[in-house]
Amino acid sequence: MTLRIAITPGEPAGIGPDLLLKLAQQTWDAQLVAIADANMLKQRAKHLGLSIKLIEFDQHAAATPAPAGSLYLHQVDVAEPVELGVLNDANGQYVLDTLRIASEKNMDGTFAAVVTGPVHKGIINKAGISFSGHTEYFAQQSNTADVVMMLATQGLRVALVTTHIPLAYVSRAITEDRLIKVASILNHDLQTKFGIEKPRILVCGLNPHAGEDGHLGREEIDTIIPTLEILNNQGMNLIGPLPADTLFQDKYLNEADAVLAMYHDQGLPVLKYKGFGNSVNITLGLPFIRTSVDHGTALDLAGKGTADVGSFELAIREAIKLAQEKAQNQ
Ligand SMILES: NC(=O)c1ccc[n+]([C@@H]2O[C@H](COP(=O)([O-])OP(=O)(O)OC[C@H]3O[C@@H](n4cnc5c(N)ncnc54)[C@H](O)[C@@H]3O)[C@@H](O)[C@H]2O)c1
Ligand SMILES: N[C@H](C(=O)O)[C@H](O)COP(=O)(O)O
């Protein structure tokens, strides 16, 4: 059975459309459907010297993969013409509309997964729409209280307790409740989506040297250690809290299935240093499959044809793989 995968190229002035057009030059083992503006894609293809045939998406027709050099399209109009590398808040609503449609059509079963290209959070907010990231947006749209951001590259998976919040709020956001929910979703999805029977998860402390017995902060003693105890008593295999500056060594990572970091810039710089361009962002805990790139809009590279397709390609491959496994298990 051919599965349908929604693709949102993201910010139209960034590299998302370039990468999708490049990837549409090959054939895929799924029906990829771009949710985007046709004229914007055609103009970008022309600029990049790529040939592209856009095929109107009909969800009632049989799902078939597009031939190389073509792409199924669900039309969403940009509000204003797109200038390469130049953000325009008039198109903020367009970006959000592509995400809303992808979400709705994953929820109703039209698509088996969504792969998202990079969006610019700032310009969406400048357009008057409160937006902190796809992870939070899809959670809200699907009425899911708790989801987990996990990025994965060869040999390393990093999941986050907190995502796109100011650093000043992180300590307050690390509660027993949040830790239990995040660790449970991570543990469950490592078992069900990645086939790991009893995941071994390394948990970072929040403070330098995991708080140094309370001398450098008390979150470990007051919240993290007691919560890990509760979860380990329930059968999980959580190791920590460990000092985040030294846990990212092969001798620890080789024995682990994932690292749980307390906040965005504790875990992701390590992951991206190891695997930028070869990593995938997966939202765990959603009622549908969502993968994404490991990079942003790279406005400096839009239209140049030099942006690396590696992460977008991996995100599509991972979405297809997860969707095929889900279909087989249903
Ligand atoms: N998945 C997403 O939607 C996502 C992910 C990360 C950042 N962002 C957003 O992107 C915007 C810009 O963020 P940023 O400047 O911190 O990060 P960025 O990833 O856009 O750029 C950082 C650097 O990496 C380079 N780079 C990025 N992608 C590349 C690629 N595919 N090939 C080669 N080089 C690449 C850029 O040229 C730049 O030098 C922000 O609004 C941020 O929130 C979105
Ligand atoms: N935290 C992600 C990263 O650094 O790659 C990125 O901001 C995208 O997050 P969403 O998938 O929630 O938009």
Residue 238 has φ and ψ, to the nearest 5°, of: -105, 125
Residue 113 and residue 28 in contact, taking contact as beta carbons nearer than 8 Å: no
Q: Identify the nearest ligand to the CA of 162 by its number.
A: 2
Question: Using an 8 Å Cβ cutoff, are 145 and 178 in contact?
Answer: no
Strand partners, 114: 6, 290
Ligand 2 pocket member 135 (CB < 6 A) = yes
CA distance 228 to 176: 9
Tell me: the pLDDT tens digits for 195-206? 999 999 999 999
Pairing of strands 289-292, 280-284: antiparallel
Please check whether residue 161 is in contact with residue 261, taking contact to mean a CB–CB distance below 8 angstroms.
Answer: yes
Kindly report the protein residue whose alpha carbon is nearest to atom 9 of ligand 2: 133
Cross-strand bridge partners of residue 304: none
Residue nearest atom 5 in ligand 1 by C-alpha distance: 296
Task: Indicate the average pLDDT of the chain.
Answer: 98
pLDDT band at residue 1 using 50, 70 and 90 as cut-offs: confident
Domains of the chain with bracketed CATH: 2-143+285-327 (3.40.718.10), 146-271 (3.40.718.10)
Count of C-beta atoms within a 10 Å radius of residue 2:
13
* Annotation: binding site: 134-135, 164, 209, 264, 272, 281, 290
What is this structure's pTM?
Answer: 0.98
Q: Looking at residues 179-187, what average pLDDT do you find?
A: 98
Residue 158, classified by CB atoms within 10 Å of its CB into exposed (0-12), middle (13-18) or buried (19+), is buried
Ligand 1 centroid – CA 295 distance (Å): 4
φ, ψ for residue 137 (rounded to 5)? -65, -45
Residue ranges at the known binding site for substrate: 134-135, 272, 281, 290
Quick check: 20 and 73 in contact, CB under 8 A?
no
**Mean pLDDT of the 303-325 span:** 98
ipTM above 0.95, yes or no: yes
212 pLDDT higher than 90: yes
Model confidence pLDDT, tens digit, residues 101-152: 999 999 999 999 999 999 999 999 999 999 999 999 999 999 999 999 999 9
* pLDDT confidence bin for 222, thresholds 50/70/90: very high
What is the residue with the minimal CA distance to atom 2 of ligand 1?
Answer: 118
* Alpha-carbon distances, residue 262 vs 183, 244, 294 (angstroms): 11, 9, 19
Mean pLDDT of 182-189: 98
Output the pLDDT for position 246.
98
248 contacts 202 by C-beta, under 8 angstroms: no
What's the pLDDT tens digit per position in 58-97?
A: 999 999 999 999 999 999 999 999 999 999 999 999 999 9
DSSP string, 186-236: HHHHHHHTT--SS-EEEEE-SSGGGGTTTTT-SHIIIIIHHHHHHHHHTT-
CA 301 to centroid of ligand 1, rounded, Å: 10
Q: Measured from the CA of 264, which atom of ligand 2 is nearest? A: 1
Q: How far is Cα of residue 138 from the mean position of the Cα atoms in its chain? A: 10
11 ligand 2 Cβ < 6 A: no
- Does residue 133 have its Cβ closer than 6 Å to ligand 2? yes
- What average pLDDT does the segment 179-188 reach? 98
Q: Each residue of 235-287: pLDDT tens digit?
A: 999 999 999 999 999 999 999 999 999 999 999 999 999 999 999 999 999 99
Q: How far is the CA of 105 from the centre of ligand 2 (A)?
A: 22
Binding-site annotation: residue ranges for a divalent metal cation? 164, 209, 264
pLDDT value at position 330?
Answer: 82
Q: Which residue has the tokens 């029977």?
A: 197
Distance between CA 25 and CA 27 in Å, rounded? Answer: 7
